[in-house]
A and B are shown apart, each in its own frame.
Chain A
Amino acid sequence: MNGVDAPPLSAPLTISFDYTRSLGPVLSRFMTGLRERRVLGSRTADGRVHVPPLEYDPATHAPLTDLVEVAATGTVTGWTWTDRPLDGQPLDRPFGWALIRLDGADTALLHAVDAGRPERMRTGMRVRIRWAAERTGHIRDIACFEPGEGSADPLRLADEPVTVMTTPIRLSYTHTTSADESRYLRALAEGRLLGQRCPVCRKVYVPPRVCPADGVPTETEVAVRDRGTVTTFCVVNVPFAGQRLEPPYVVAQILLDGADIPVPHLILGLPADQVRMGMRVAAVWRDRASWTTTPENIAHFRPTGEPDAPYESFQDHL
């Protein structure tokens, strides 16, 4: 079984999506204000002005509707310096992060200060907003802050208020498989299907995994055939983004001969409405030259023409 192992397989994984958020009455006015080069704060019952605005008074819990405009110039109350900006940050050259209390506000907001070099940063320094040229009603309408006083004049725009903001998220990872998953994937690259047997319940898992019934890693390697039985299935009728096949098509759970847990895969080669539980199917491998360490080496499964398996033969493996 284990022997000398190659290191676990790993691969880059980048996830990106847009968060689209409704703003509600307070943040809608705040973001609409930014589009007009105005900064609005909310006033709590104790008379303090909060920027960014709060939606509810932390003391009275009343909704805050009293928004007031504050200056686009303020004072740094805390800071640090970043030599190597990260992906997505406001500036792509060294800059300062600072808490900035705008004139007229009682709380500070966090933003970037384009100060050029760290020696220019200090607590108490005066900074002003550098507005983005294109403003959409988003916190990034404030491109950054810069040392100095004064700011561009506000505009009066007749546009509809901003009610939704979209923030793109992009994260990069290195995904690393377990040693057992790696052996499974490397076997796939050789056209073999590998299972592993739980030392306690003796069930064979494909792909190998920690046994969910016993909480122990599966140990003994078991070769599994590339044919099996459809235990259950669904017909996909709904089109969606990124779909590779024209609906309708069938995704089935297939209990490979010699395994105790089914794997999901496509069933092609017959009309969708003819797929049935118990149907015998075999893997259709892609061209050997294209095999890599992925389950995509199997293009799909197709019927073998054998008689259907009796229900009793797979009823415990659904």
Chain B
Amino acid sequence: MSTEVAVIGFAQAPCLPSAGTTSGVETLVPVLGRALAEARLDRREVDFWCSGSSDYLAGRAFSFVNAVDAIGAYPPICESHVEMDAAWACYEAYVQILAGEAETALVYGFGKSSAGQLRRVLALQLDPYTVAPLWPDSVSVAAVQARCAVDAGVVSERAMAEVAVRSRADARANPYSQVSGVFDLDDLLAGPYLADPLRGHDCAPVSDGAAALVLAAGERARRAPRRAWISGMAHRIDPQGLGERDLTEVPSASAAAQAACLPGDLDVAELHAPFTHQELLLRAALGLGDRVRINPSGGALCGNPMFSAGLARIGAAAGEVMSGRARTAAGHATSGPALQQNLVCVLEAS
């Protein structure tokens, strides 16, 4: 049994407004191949496979079973699935390795958000008795949260637009991003509201995509060409009722950061914030100071494939450590409405 686990490989598909095939299998094949190649691991050396996806996104039952073809599941392998962002599949794989059940794991997520009407499909993750039957869409729910934060003086529309400007500028260096470029702050603020106080630039694009991450234990990880050690990983949940908590705070993110021992001297944080105000709320909840580089990849605002965007944040954070650009980095993922569920993964060099 090993208490050391590292990320040794990561790959993602380009974030696209529409990527063809609904099944995800064809998108996954090259992504899995590149992640394994980076880890110098043969497919048959993977002890545990875990994925994140959702049937509601594809509109077909057991859609993840189809995707299992991409990993070559015959003869039978050890495989699991979460109906959440694959960052939670990563957590399951991490625990499997810590428990000594596996030495290596491959985690993948995929989603074709463009198959249906994403913001409407996401209404089905709300309370099925008193909220979902009203079909509040995900953009409106986020906008109510943003309104609360603006009213409370925690964020401003200008500060939100600054997040978009910085993210899109950073995304120019990310070949997998969907939205990037140099934008003028005042031009963005002159745009119409999509859902007051959210404008187009405040919302992540609808993206199809996939990502894969390779994990390995202690000695096995040291044999890989590059690695980023996981020094802590935790996830927490806030109450489901949107009116049951102060939407301007993210207690579950703070609790996850504390449980994962998020260091005070963090170099980089890849935050899964599909809306600009959510990045500002998360920075406060995680206690990230001005010296922390936030989302050098451009973040989910520049490409947000459902069920893999959170895993991609962990992969991007690991990439910062592996490349030597950061000594410590954190990958964060969210799931559910208005930052209800949050996961924090802390990555360190050696």
B289 at the interface (CB under 8 A from A): no
The one of B115, B144, B197 in contact with A173, judged by C-beta atoms closer than 8 angstroms, is: B115
- Chain B residues within an 8 Å CB radius of A118: 196
The one of A88, A121, A175 in contact with B135, judged by C-beta atoms closer than 8 angstroms, is: A88
Question: B134 and A215: CB pair below 8 A?
Answer: no
What does the 1/0 interface line of B40-73 toward A look like (CB < 8 Å)? 0001000000000000101110000000111111
B127 → chain A, closest Cβ, in Å? 8
**C-alpha gap A112/B144 in the complex (Å):** 12
Question: A212 and B59: CB pair below 8 A?
Answer: no
Q: Which of chain A's residues 161-182 have a Cβ closer than 8 Å to chain B? A: 165, 167, 169, 171-181
Question: A110 and B151: CB pair below 8 A?
Answer: no
Question: B59 and A140: CB pair below 8 A?
Answer: no
- Chain A residues within an 8 Å CB radius of B193: 81
B132 at the interface (CB under 8 A from A): yes
- Chain A residues within an 8 Å CB radius of B22: 173, 175-177
In the complex with contacts A80-B196, A97-B144, A171-B59, A86-B130 CB distance below 8 A:
no
Question: B147 and A123: CB pair below 8 A?
Answer: yes
Q: Which of chain A's residues 148-199 have a Cβ closer than 8 Å to chain B? A: 165, 167, 169, 171-181
Question: B116 and A172: CB pair below 8 A?
Answer: yes
Interface band, chain B: 35 or more
Q: Which of chain A's residues 105-140 have a Cβ closer than 8 Å to chain B? A: 107-112, 118, 121, 123, 138-140
**C-alpha gap A29/B196 in the complex (Å):** 35
Closest to A107 in B: B243
Question: B133 and A110: CB pair below 8 A?
Answer: no
Spot the interface stretch: B24-32, B180-188, B252-260, B327-335. B24-32
Question: B148 and A112: CB pair below 8 A?
Answer: no
- Chain B residues within an 8 Å CB radius of A99: 144, 148, 242-243, 247
- Chain B residues within an 8 Å CB radius of A82: 137, 140, 195
The one of A27, A78, A213 in contact with B145, judged by C-beta atoms closer than 8 angstroms, is: A78
Question: B72 and A212: CB pair below 8 A?
Answer: yes
What does the 1/0 interface line of A72-93 toward B look like (CB < 8 Å)? 0000011111100011111000
A162 → chain B, closest Cβ, in Å? 11
The one of B29, B143, B243 in contact with A108, judged by C-beta atoms closer than 8 angstroms, is: B243
**C-alpha gap A75/B193 in the complex (Å):** 24
A289 at the interface (CB under 8 A from B): no
- Chain B residues within an 8 Å CB radius of A107: 241, 243-244
Closest to A7 in B: B20
The one of B21, B127, B244 in contact with A50, judged by C-beta atoms closer than 8 angstroms, is: B244
The one of B20, B71, B124, B127 in contact with A8, judged by C-beta atoms closer than 8 angstroms, is: B20
A62 at the interface (CB under 8 A from B): no
In the complex with contacts A58-B239, A78-B151, A171-B121, A111-B134 CB distance below 8 A:
yes
Question: A110 and B25: CB pair below 8 A?
Answer: no
Q: Which of chain A's residues 1-43 have a Cβ closer than 8 Å to chain B? A: 8, 13, 15, 19, 21, 23, 27, 30
- Chain A residues within an 8 Å CB radius of B60: 175
Question: A215 and B196: CB pair below 8 A?
Answer: no
**C-alpha gap A175/B121 in the complex (Å):** 15
Closest to A180 in B: B26
Question: B131 and A110: CB pair below 8 A?
Answer: yes
**C-alpha gap A305/B240 in the complex (Å):** 63
The one of B129, B132, B148, B239 in contact with A78, judged by C-beta atoms closer than 8 angstroms, is: B148
- Chain B residues within an 8 Å CB radius of A181: 21
Question: B147 and A80: CB pair below 8 A?
Answer: yes
**C-alpha gap A180/B244 in the complex (Å):** 49
A67 at the interface (CB under 8 A from B): no
A241 → chain B, closest Cβ, in Å? 17
B145 → chain A, closest Cβ, in Å? 7
Question: B73 and A77: CB pair below 8 A?
Answer: no
**C-alpha gap A89/B73 in the complex (Å):** 42
**C-alpha gap A263/B29 in the complex (Å):** 24
**C-alpha gap A50/B241 in the complex (Å):** 10
Question: A8 and B21: CB pair below 8 A?
Answer: yes
The one of B20, B70, B137 in contact with A86, judged by C-beta atoms closer than 8 angstroms, is: B137
Question: B136 and A109: CB pair below 8 A?
Answer: no
In the complex with contacts A21-B129, A139-B130, A87-B135 CB distance below 8 A:
yes
**C-alpha gap A58/B74 in the complex (Å):** 45
A270 at the interface (CB under 8 A from B): no
What does the 1/0 interface line of A208-228 toward B look like (CB < 8 Å)? 011111111100000000000
* Further contacts, 14 of them, CB under 8 A, given A50-B241, A107-B244, A178-B26: A80-B195, A82-B140, A86-B120, A97-B144, A99-B242, A99-B243, A99-B247, A110-B136, A123-B147, A172-B117, A173-B59, A176-B20, A179-B26, A215-B32
Query: What are 26 pairs between A and B in contact, CB < 8 Å?
Result: A8-B20, A15-B59, A50-B244, A79-B144, A80-B146, A86-B137, A97-B144, A99-B144, A99-B243, A109-B243, A111-B134, A123-B147, A139-B134, A165-B129, A167-B133, A171-B120, A171-B121, A172-B116, A173-B115, A173-B116, A174-B116, A180-B26, A212-B68, A212-B69, A212-B72, A212-B74
A-contacting residues of B (Cβ < 8 Å)? Answer: 20-23, 25-26, 29, 32, 43, 56, 58-60, 68-75, 112, 114-117, 119-121, 124, 127-137, 140-141, 143-148, 151, 193, 195-198, 239, 241-244, 247
9 closest residue pairs by CB, A with B: A215-B72, A108-B243, A80-B143, A173-B59, A88-B135, A78-B148, A52-B130, A178-B21, A210-B69
